[in-house]
Amino acid sequence: MTQEQKQEFTRRISQENHSGLILVLCDIFHTYGSDAIAAYETNDMTTYLQMVGQARRTMQELIDCFSKEDVIGRKVIAIFRFIYGKLVRSEVRRQPDELDRCIQLVDALRVGFVHLHEIDTDGAVMQNVHQVYAGLTYGKGMLNESVQGVDYGTRGYQV
């Protein structure tokens, strides 16, 4: 994962509600899984194991996002646990046996999560963060993002 992707994911996380966070986690999983496959193809075993480990941690975060009391939530958790098991197997065997299939499963589930996100009207999970506006100004060869309307007196911890 490149530094630009990390910054983009960080920005998205700070602005999203709960269903949007699930979409971001799916995108992060896709990135780590693709990076792991690319590392394996170039025989870079250290990077491969790091990326599979990151994908596994991301999958655990996805599992934790869903309620175990809800029937549909339990079914989604069962799918994610299956994928988690495949990730552990890929890590132990040091081969991406079904890693591409896992990425495809998460991408297929992401389509449903997009529809849920469209009807979710909750506010952002993170409160009191910078509001990012893109497209107001342009730099040479890149888009500048500006932060406006920040009250620094209400940010941070208060004792």
Give the residue-averaged pLDDT of 122-146. 56
3-119 CATH pick, 2.40.50.100, 3.40.640.10, 1.10.8.100, 1.20.120.340: 1.20.120.340
Residue 17: the pLDDT is 76
Residue 148: the pLDDT is 54
Q: Domain ranges for the chain, please list them.
A: 3-119
Please state, rounded to an integer, the average pLDDT across all residues of the chain: 80
pLDDT by residue (tens digit) across 64-109?
A: 888 888 888 899 999 999 999 999 999 999 988 889 999 999 999 8
36-40 contacts, C-beta under 8 A, 24 or more apart = 36/90, 36/96, 36/99, 37/96, 37/99, 37/100, 40/95, 40/96
Q: Work out the pLDDT band at 122, boundaries 50, 70, 90.
A: low
Low-confidence winner among 96-100, 121-125, 131-135 (lowest mean pLDDT): 131-135
Q: What φ, ψ does residue 66 adopt, rounded to 5°?
A: -105, 150
Counted residue by residue, the chain has a size of 159
Residue 130: the pLDDT is 57
Distances (CA, A) of 125 to 13, 14, 90: 9, 8, 33
For residue 15, pLDDT beyond 80: no
Q: Work out the pLDDT band at 136, boundaries 50, 70, 90.
A: very low
For residue 39, pLDDT beyond 90: yes
